[in-house]
Amino acid sequence: MKKMTDQELYKRCQECGGNARRWTREFAYYLPEVARRDLHRRRGFQSIYEFAAKLSGMSFEVCNRVLQLNNKFEHMPLLWEQIRMHGWSKLRVIAFVVNSENEKIWIENLNRCTKAGLEKLVKNFKSVPGEEAQKPDIPLAKSTTQSAMTLGDNVPCGDRAILDDRTVLKFKVDDETEFQFKKFKHELEKKKGKAMTMGEVLKELLQKAETPKLKTRKIKKITKITRYIPVQRKRETEEKQNDRCRAENCNELATQFHHPLRFSLNRTHKELVKLCRTHHQLAHAGFIEERDEWQVNWQARKRDKRVEEVDEKVRQARRRL
Protein backbone atom coordinates (compact mmCIF):
# COMPACT_ATOMS: atom_id res chain seq x y z
CA MET A 1 0.00 0.00 0.00
CA LYS A 2 1.24 3.45 -0.93
CA LYS A 3 2.41 5.35 2.12
CA MET A 4 0.10 8.26 2.91
CA THR A 5 0.00 10.95 5.55
CA ASP A 6 -2.70 10.83 8.23
CA GLN A 7 -4.60 13.60 6.45
CA GLU A 8 -4.49 11.81 3.07
CA LEU A 9 -5.56 8.51 4.65
CA TYR A 10 -8.49 10.13 6.46
CA LYS A 11 -9.58 11.96 3.31
CA ARG A 12 -9.45 8.72 1.31
CA CYS A 13 -11.49 6.83 3.93
CA GLN A 14 -13.99 9.69 4.03
CA GLU A 15 -14.36 9.55 0.25
CA CYS A 16 -14.82 5.76 0.21
CA GLY A 17 -17.37 5.90 3.04
CA GLY A 18 -19.36 8.64 1.29
CA ASN A 19 -19.45 6.66 -1.96
CA ALA A 20 -20.50 3.50 -0.10
CA ARG A 21 -23.42 5.31 1.56
CA ARG A 22 -24.49 6.87 -1.73
CA TRP A 23 -24.56 3.56 -3.58
CA THR A 24 -26.33 1.80 -0.69
CA ARG A 25 -29.12 4.40 -0.86
CA GLU A 26 -29.30 3.98 -4.64
CA PHE A 27 -29.56 0.19 -4.25
CA ALA A 28 -32.38 0.58 -1.70
CA TYR A 29 -34.27 2.80 -4.16
CA TYR A 30 -34.27 0.08 -6.86
CA LEU A 31 -34.83 -2.90 -4.52
CA PRO A 32 -38.69 -2.76 -4.42
CA GLU A 33 -38.83 -2.67 -8.24
CA VAL A 34 -36.64 -5.79 -8.36
CA ALA A 35 -39.12 -7.50 -6.00
CA ARG A 36 -42.12 -6.39 -8.10
CA ARG A 37 -40.60 -7.77 -11.31
CA ASP A 38 -39.49 -10.96 -9.55
CA LEU A 39 -36.11 -10.30 -11.12
CA HIS A 40 -34.19 -11.93 -8.29
CA ARG A 41 -35.75 -15.35 -8.96
CA ARG A 42 -35.06 -15.12 -12.68
CA ARG A 43 -31.42 -14.45 -11.82
CA GLY A 44 -31.15 -17.55 -9.64
CA PHE A 45 -31.68 -16.07 -6.16
CA GLN A 46 -33.97 -17.86 -3.71
CA SER A 47 -35.41 -14.65 -2.24
CA ILE A 48 -35.16 -10.87 -2.38
CA TYR A 49 -33.24 -11.01 0.91
CA GLU A 50 -30.55 -13.25 -0.62
CA PHE A 51 -30.41 -10.90 -3.62
CA ALA A 52 -29.86 -7.87 -1.33
CA ALA A 53 -27.32 -9.64 0.86
CA LYS A 54 -25.13 -10.98 -1.96
CA LEU A 55 -25.19 -7.89 -4.17
CA SER A 56 -24.87 -5.15 -1.56
CA GLY A 57 -24.31 -6.79 1.83
CA MET A 58 -27.70 -5.53 3.03
CA SER A 59 -28.99 -7.39 6.09
CA PHE A 60 -32.37 -9.14 6.29
CA GLU A 61 -33.70 -6.53 8.73
CA VAL A 62 -32.71 -3.53 6.58
CA CYS A 63 -34.06 -5.15 3.42
CA ASN A 64 -37.36 -5.86 5.17
CA ARG A 65 -37.65 -2.25 6.38
CA VAL A 66 -36.96 -0.87 2.89
CA LEU A 67 -39.72 -3.05 1.42
CA GLN A 68 -42.15 -2.02 4.17
CA LEU A 69 -41.35 1.64 3.58
CA ASN A 70 -42.01 1.23 -0.12
CA ASN A 71 -45.44 -0.23 0.65
CA LYS A 72 -46.15 2.87 2.71
CA PHE A 73 -44.88 5.34 0.09
CA GLU A 74 -46.13 3.43 -2.97
CA HIS A 75 -48.56 6.23 -3.88
CA MET A 76 -46.07 8.99 -3.00
CA PRO A 77 -43.34 8.69 -5.66
CA LEU A 78 -41.85 12.11 -4.89
CA LEU A 79 -41.26 11.10 -1.29
CA TRP A 80 -39.82 7.72 -2.25
CA GLU A 81 -37.30 9.52 -4.48
CA GLN A 82 -35.85 11.06 -1.30
CA ILE A 83 -34.39 7.69 -0.27
CA ARG A 84 -31.66 8.21 -2.87
CA MET A 85 -30.47 11.32 -1.05
CA HIS A 86 -31.37 10.71 2.60
CA GLY A 87 -31.55 6.92 3.01
CA TRP A 88 -34.29 4.73 4.46
CA SER A 89 -33.72 5.63 8.14
CA LYS A 90 -34.81 9.28 7.76
CA LEU A 91 -37.89 8.25 5.77
CA ARG A 92 -38.77 5.73 8.45
CA VAL A 93 -38.98 8.53 11.05
CA ILE A 94 -41.82 10.27 9.18
CA ALA A 95 -43.52 7.10 7.94
CA PHE A 96 -46.70 7.37 9.99
CA VAL A 97 -47.21 11.15 9.95
CA VAL A 98 -46.87 11.83 6.23
CA ASN A 99 -49.78 11.69 3.80
CA SER A 100 -50.68 13.02 0.35
CA GLU A 101 -51.74 16.38 1.84
CA ASN A 102 -48.56 17.21 3.74
CA GLU A 103 -46.13 15.27 1.51
CA LYS A 104 -44.40 18.38 0.11
CA ILE A 105 -43.94 19.87 3.58
CA TRP A 106 -42.23 16.73 4.88
CA ILE A 107 -40.00 16.57 1.78
CA GLU A 108 -38.83 20.08 2.64
CA ASN A 109 -38.33 19.01 6.26
CA LEU A 110 -36.19 16.08 5.10
CA ASN A 111 -33.90 18.45 3.23
CA ARG A 112 -33.59 20.91 6.11
CA CYS A 113 -33.26 18.57 9.12
CA THR A 114 -31.09 15.85 10.54
CA LYS A 115 -32.65 12.57 11.66
CA ALA A 116 -32.69 13.73 15.30
CA GLY A 117 -34.38 16.96 14.23
CA LEU A 118 -37.05 15.03 12.32
CA GLU A 119 -37.80 12.95 15.41
CA LYS A 120 -38.46 16.17 17.37
CA LEU A 121 -40.71 17.50 14.59
CA VAL A 122 -42.71 14.26 14.42
CA LYS A 123 -43.20 14.38 18.19
CA ASN A 124 -44.36 17.98 17.89
CA PHE A 125 -46.71 17.08 14.98
CA LYS A 126 -48.45 14.41 17.06
CA SER A 127 -49.01 16.86 19.92
CA VAL A 128 -50.70 19.51 17.73
CA PRO A 129 -54.53 19.54 18.18
CA GLY A 130 -56.30 18.41 15.02
CA GLU A 131 -53.25 16.61 13.62
CA GLU A 132 -53.78 12.86 13.79
CA ALA A 133 -50.90 10.54 13.07
CA GLN A 134 -51.64 7.37 11.17
CA LYS A 135 -51.15 3.97 12.73
CA PRO A 136 -47.54 2.91 12.22
CA ASP A 137 -47.24 0.18 9.58
CA ILE A 138 -43.56 -0.06 10.40
CA PRO A 139 -42.35 -1.18 13.83
CA LEU A 140 -40.39 1.64 15.41
CA ALA A 141 -37.84 1.42 18.18
CA LYS A 142 -38.96 2.47 21.65
CA SER A 143 -38.28 6.07 22.53
CA THR A 144 -35.07 6.76 24.41
CA THR A 145 -36.46 9.86 26.10
CA GLN A 146 -38.46 8.05 28.78
CA SER A 147 -37.58 9.07 32.31
CA ALA A 148 -36.06 5.71 33.18
CA MET A 149 -32.40 5.06 33.83
CA THR A 150 -30.56 1.76 33.73
CA LEU A 151 -27.28 1.67 35.60
CA GLY A 152 -24.87 -0.77 34.04
CA ASP A 153 -24.68 -2.28 30.56
CA ASN A 154 -27.76 -2.63 28.36
CA VAL A 155 -28.65 -6.10 29.57
CA PRO A 156 -32.28 -7.31 29.74
CA CYS A 157 -33.16 -7.60 33.39
CA GLY A 158 -35.93 -7.28 35.94
CA ASP A 159 -35.83 -4.91 38.88
CA ARG A 160 -32.61 -6.52 39.99
CA ALA A 161 -30.32 -9.03 38.28
CA ILE A 162 -26.77 -10.28 38.78
CA LEU A 163 -24.29 -10.25 35.88
CA ASP A 164 -20.81 -11.57 36.65
CA ASP A 165 -19.63 -9.64 39.71
CA ARG A 166 -21.73 -6.55 38.98
CA THR A 167 -25.29 -5.71 39.94
CA VAL A 168 -27.59 -4.30 37.29
CA LEU A 169 -30.11 -1.85 38.74
CA LYS A 170 -33.12 -0.52 36.85
CA PHE A 171 -35.36 2.16 38.28
CA LYS A 172 -37.45 5.18 37.25
CA VAL A 173 -36.60 8.77 38.04
CA ASP A 174 -38.36 12.10 37.51
CA ASP A 175 -37.42 14.52 34.74
CA GLU A 176 -35.32 16.79 36.97
CA THR A 177 -33.21 13.90 38.32
CA GLU A 178 -32.73 12.53 34.80
CA PHE A 179 -31.53 15.92 33.59
CA GLN A 180 -29.12 16.44 36.49
CA PHE A 181 -27.64 12.96 35.96
CA LYS A 182 -27.17 13.63 32.22
CA LYS A 183 -25.52 16.94 33.06
CA PHE A 184 -23.10 15.31 35.52
CA LYS A 185 -22.31 12.51 33.03
CA HIS A 186 -21.62 15.02 30.25
CA GLU A 187 -19.26 17.10 32.42
CA LEU A 188 -17.44 14.01 33.70
CA GLU A 189 -16.92 12.59 30.18
CA LYS A 190 -15.63 15.99 29.03
CA LYS A 191 -13.19 16.11 31.95
CA LYS A 192 -11.89 12.56 31.47
CA GLY A 193 -11.95 12.69 27.66
CA LYS A 194 -13.75 9.37 27.16
CA ALA A 195 -17.23 7.84 27.14
CA MET A 196 -18.41 6.35 30.43
CA THR A 197 -21.10 3.86 31.41
CA MET A 198 -23.91 4.80 33.80
CA GLY A 199 -22.36 2.59 36.47
CA GLU A 200 -19.00 4.39 36.26
CA VAL A 201 -20.74 7.75 36.47
CA LEU A 202 -22.71 6.67 39.54
CA LYS A 203 -19.51 5.49 41.20
CA GLU A 204 -17.86 8.87 40.62
CA LEU A 205 -20.98 10.64 41.87
CA LEU A 206 -21.00 8.68 45.13
CA GLN A 207 -17.31 9.46 45.70
CA LYS A 208 -18.04 13.20 45.61
CA ALA A 209 -19.24 13.51 49.20
CA GLU A 210 -18.13 17.11 49.73
CA THR A 211 -19.71 20.03 47.91
CA PRO A 212 -17.02 22.02 46.04
CA LYS A 213 -16.41 25.53 47.30
CA LEU A 214 -17.64 28.23 44.95
CA LYS A 215 -14.95 30.65 43.87
CA THR A 216 -15.71 34.31 43.47
CA ARG A 217 -15.52 35.34 39.83
CA LYS A 218 -14.00 38.56 38.62
CA ILE A 219 -16.24 40.44 36.20
CA LYS A 220 -14.37 41.95 33.28
CA LYS A 221 -15.77 44.72 31.14
CA ILE A 222 -16.43 43.64 27.56
CA THR A 223 -14.93 46.18 25.19
CA LYS A 224 -14.40 44.68 21.72
CA ILE A 225 -17.17 42.64 20.08
CA THR A 226 -15.87 39.62 18.14
CA ARG A 227 -17.36 36.27 17.14
CA TYR A 228 -15.67 34.76 20.18
CA ILE A 229 -18.23 34.65 23.01
CA PRO A 230 -16.76 36.15 26.21
CA VAL A 231 -16.58 33.78 29.19
CA GLN A 232 -18.59 36.23 31.28
CA ARG A 233 -21.46 36.15 28.76
CA LYS A 234 -21.35 32.34 28.64
CA ARG A 235 -21.55 32.10 32.43
CA GLU A 236 -24.49 34.51 32.59
CA THR A 237 -26.40 32.44 30.01
CA GLU A 238 -25.62 29.14 31.74
CA GLU A 239 -26.67 30.43 35.16
CA LYS A 240 -29.87 31.90 33.74
CA GLN A 241 -30.88 28.59 32.09
CA ASN A 242 -29.30 26.25 34.66
CA ASP A 243 -27.64 24.36 31.76
CA ARG A 244 -31.05 23.23 30.47
CA CYS A 245 -32.00 23.55 26.79
CA ARG A 246 -34.03 26.74 26.15
CA ALA A 247 -36.48 25.02 23.76
CA GLU A 248 -39.99 24.38 25.08
CA ASN A 249 -40.53 21.06 26.93
CA CYS A 250 -36.93 19.93 26.35
CA ASN A 251 -35.22 18.03 29.16
CA GLU A 252 -31.84 17.73 27.45
CA LEU A 253 -28.54 19.26 28.49
CA ALA A 254 -27.77 22.53 26.69
CA THR A 255 -24.42 22.12 24.91
CA GLN A 256 -24.40 24.75 22.13
CA PHE A 257 -24.70 28.53 22.24
CA HIS A 258 -27.11 30.15 19.79
CA HIS A 259 -27.56 33.73 18.54
CA PRO A 260 -31.28 34.34 17.82
CA LEU A 261 -30.35 37.58 16.02
CA ARG A 262 -27.57 35.83 14.02
CA PHE A 263 -24.15 37.24 14.84
CA SER A 264 -23.20 37.81 11.18
CA LEU A 265 -26.18 40.18 10.82
CA ASN A 266 -26.12 41.80 14.27
CA ARG A 267 -22.72 41.75 15.92
CA THR A 268 -23.94 41.27 19.48
CA HIS A 269 -24.07 38.53 22.14
CA LYS A 270 -26.87 40.17 24.13
CA GLU A 271 -29.67 37.75 23.19
CA LEU A 272 -27.49 34.65 23.58
CA VAL A 273 -29.22 31.38 24.55
CA LYS A 274 -28.04 27.83 24.99
CA LEU A 275 -29.68 24.84 23.25
CA CYS A 276 -29.16 21.11 22.95
CA ARG A 277 -27.60 19.94 19.68
CA THR A 278 -30.88 18.88 18.05
CA HIS A 279 -32.78 22.06 18.85
CA HIS A 280 -29.80 24.15 17.72
CA GLN A 281 -30.06 22.47 14.31
CA LEU A 282 -33.82 23.03 14.24
CA ALA A 283 -33.34 26.71 15.09
CA HIS A 284 -31.07 27.19 12.07
CA ALA A 285 -33.51 25.19 9.93
CA GLY A 286 -36.35 27.58 10.84
CA PHE A 287 -38.57 25.28 12.94
CA ILE A 288 -38.36 27.24 16.20
CA GLU A 289 -40.08 30.48 17.14
CA GLU A 290 -37.05 32.28 18.54
CA ARG A 291 -38.90 34.44 21.06
CA ASP A 292 -39.90 34.08 24.71
CA GLU A 293 -41.59 30.66 24.41
CA TRP A 294 -39.14 29.01 22.01
CA GLN A 295 -41.83 26.72 20.62
CA VAL A 296 -41.09 24.07 17.98
CA ASN A 297 -43.29 23.88 14.90
CA TRP A 298 -43.25 20.89 12.52
CA GLN A 299 -43.48 23.26 9.55
CA ALA A 300 -40.64 25.60 8.63
CA ARG A 301 -41.38 29.24 9.37
CA LYS A 302 -41.18 32.08 6.84
CA ARG A 303 -38.29 34.27 7.90
CA ASP A 304 -36.27 37.25 6.78
CA LYS A 305 -34.37 36.49 3.56
CA ARG A 306 -31.03 37.47 5.10
CA VAL A 307 -31.54 35.11 8.07
CA GLU A 308 -32.47 32.26 5.69
CA GLU A 309 -29.30 32.84 3.65
CA VAL A 310 -27.14 32.76 6.78
CA ASP A 311 -28.77 29.56 8.04
CA GLU A 312 -28.45 27.87 4.64
CA LYS A 313 -24.69 28.43 4.80
CA VAL A 314 -24.68 26.90 8.31
CA ARG A 315 -26.58 23.81 7.08
CA GLN A 316 -24.23 23.37 4.11
CA ALA A 317 -21.21 23.59 6.40
CA ARG A 318 -22.70 20.88 8.66
CA ARG A 319 -23.31 18.57 5.69
CA ARG A 320 -19.65 18.84 4.69
CA LEU A 321 -18.48 17.70 8.15
Strand intervals (E) in the chain: 148-151, 160-163, 166-172, 256-258, 273-275
The residues pairing with 275 across neighbouring beta strands, listed in sequence order, are 256
Percentage of residues in the chain having pLDDT higher than 90: 40
**Angle between helical axes of 115-127 and 103-112 (0-180°, round to 10):** 140
pLDDT band at 161 (very low <50, low <70, confident <90, very high): very low
CA distance 43 to 233: 66
Distances (CA, A) of 245 to 40, 52, 104, 211: 50, 42, 30, 25
Number of Cα atoms under 13 Å in the Cβ half of residue 21: 11
Instruction: Reply yes or no on whether the pLDDT at 145 is more than 60.
Output: no
Q: What are the tens digits of pLDDT across the range 86-120?
A: 999 999 999 989 998 999 999 999 999 999 999 99
Contact between 288 and 297 (Cβ < 8 Å): yes
CA distance 100 to 90: 18
One DSSP character per residue, 77-125 reads: HHHHHTHHHH-HHHHHHTTTT--TTTHHHHHHHHHH--HHHHHHHHHHH
- Closest C-alpha among 150, 102, 110 to residue 128: 102
pLDDT band at 157 (very low <50, low <70, confident <90, very high): very low
Phi/psi for 8 (5° steps) reads -65, -40
Contact between 245 and 261 (Cβ < 8 Å): no
Residue 222 pLDDT = 58
Instruction: Reply yes or no on whether the pLDDT at 213 is more than 80.
Output: no
Q: What are the tens digits of pLDDT across the range 21-45?
A: 999 999 999 999 999 999 999 999 9
Instruction: Give the range among 19-33, 56-70, 141-155, 194-208 with minimum mean pLDDT.
Output: 141-155
Instruction: Reply yes or no on whether the pLDDT at 142 is more than 50.
Output: no
Instruction: Reply yes or no on whether the pLDDT at 164 is more than 80.
Output: no
Task: Calculate ∠ Cα 318-319-320, nearest 5°.
Answer: 90
CA distance 34 to 67: 11
Instruction: Reply yes or no on whether the pLDDT at 59 is more than 90.
Output: yes
